[in-house]
Chains A and B, each alone.
Chain A
């Protein structure tokens, strides 16, 4: 089966996020008040061939831990669903 995967990488709680802080500080000057908790991460998208959903999840978890994130400073959230088959 083919799966569409999105991995969202973000800084762990407690790790300073200078990009998020800079954006948050800039917002009031643009007239956006009341915005708090800005954080900046990255999202990584790919397709994966795997036997089933739990096998796909296991592969992506391993991939996140060993490569896509640095566990010292980053967490990841995985979303994964069967790829849509093009209609004929």
Chain B
């Protein structure tokens, strides 16, 4: 049986089909789970896809965190299940307190859209287990509020516990310490602003996202108790 990835869709999510496409391309199953569902079904991993959940009204992720599905996501995360929030999904995870810090408006108030170079800083997480530390990945970003901000205590914690997974080679948005993606203490919840699902095919200009998505599917397989 193939591993099964739940892809969360809020009203305003717009990257869920890209994630489903890549998951299927890599040989696993994906199901879209709408925000009002109280359960994730038989998911082995969860992806909170990008977009503009609930129109980003009030703040990105502020309303989404109260959606019924988020309780299921939180308990799945607490039980060690792999959860990845991409772009708007990262914003949702910080608002839901599943990851620390917040995503502020980009420095310079520019909407940034294009390929960025990411340096993999740590391979001990559900999204980076198959990547090499120091590897540079070409992955697109597409955001206005991707400027990662946190208290100096939180930053020291993230650095001290090696929880910064990705840094921008050239900081596009003002993020503190060039942070592009982080994980929680358990290393099973990951948030990142760049879109690995948009970099999994030659036609899209990069295949560098595959190593990340296949790391996630590997973690999903372990979570499902499947042999490797």
A binding-site residues for B, Cβ under 8 Å: 15-16, 18-19, 22, 67-68, 70, 72-73
B177 CB → nearest A CB, Å: 14
A-B CB contact pairs (8 Å), 22 listed:
A15-B104, A16-B104, A16-B107, A16-B149, A16-B174, A18-B105, A18-B106, A18-B107, A18-B108, A18-B174, A19-B109, A67-B58, A67-B62, A70-B62, A70-B95, A70-B102, A72-B102, A72-B149, A72-B151, A73-B102, A73-B104, A73-B149
Smallest Cβ-Cβ distance to A42: which chain B residue: B58
**In the complex, what residues of A have CB within 8 A of residue B106's CB?**
18
B170-210 interface with A by 8 A CB criterion: 174
Q: Which 9 A-B pairs have the closest CB atoms?
A: A72-B102, A73-B102, A18-B109, A70-B102, A18-B105, A18-B107, A70-B59, A73-B149, A73-B104
Interface size class of B (residues with CB under 8 A): 20 to 34
Smallest Cβ-Cβ distance to B108: which chain A residue: A18
| Sample of 16 further A-B pairs with CB below 8 A, known A19-B109, A22-B109, A67-B58 | A15-B104, A15-B149, A16-B104, A16-B147, A18-B106, A18-B174, A19-B105, A70-B59, A70-B62, A70-B95, A72-B94, A72-B100, A72-B149, A72-B150, A72-B151, A73-B149
B94 CB → nearest A CB, Å: 8
B binding-site residues for A, Cβ under 8 Å: 58-59, 62, 66, 94-95, 100-102, 104-109, 147, 149-151, 174
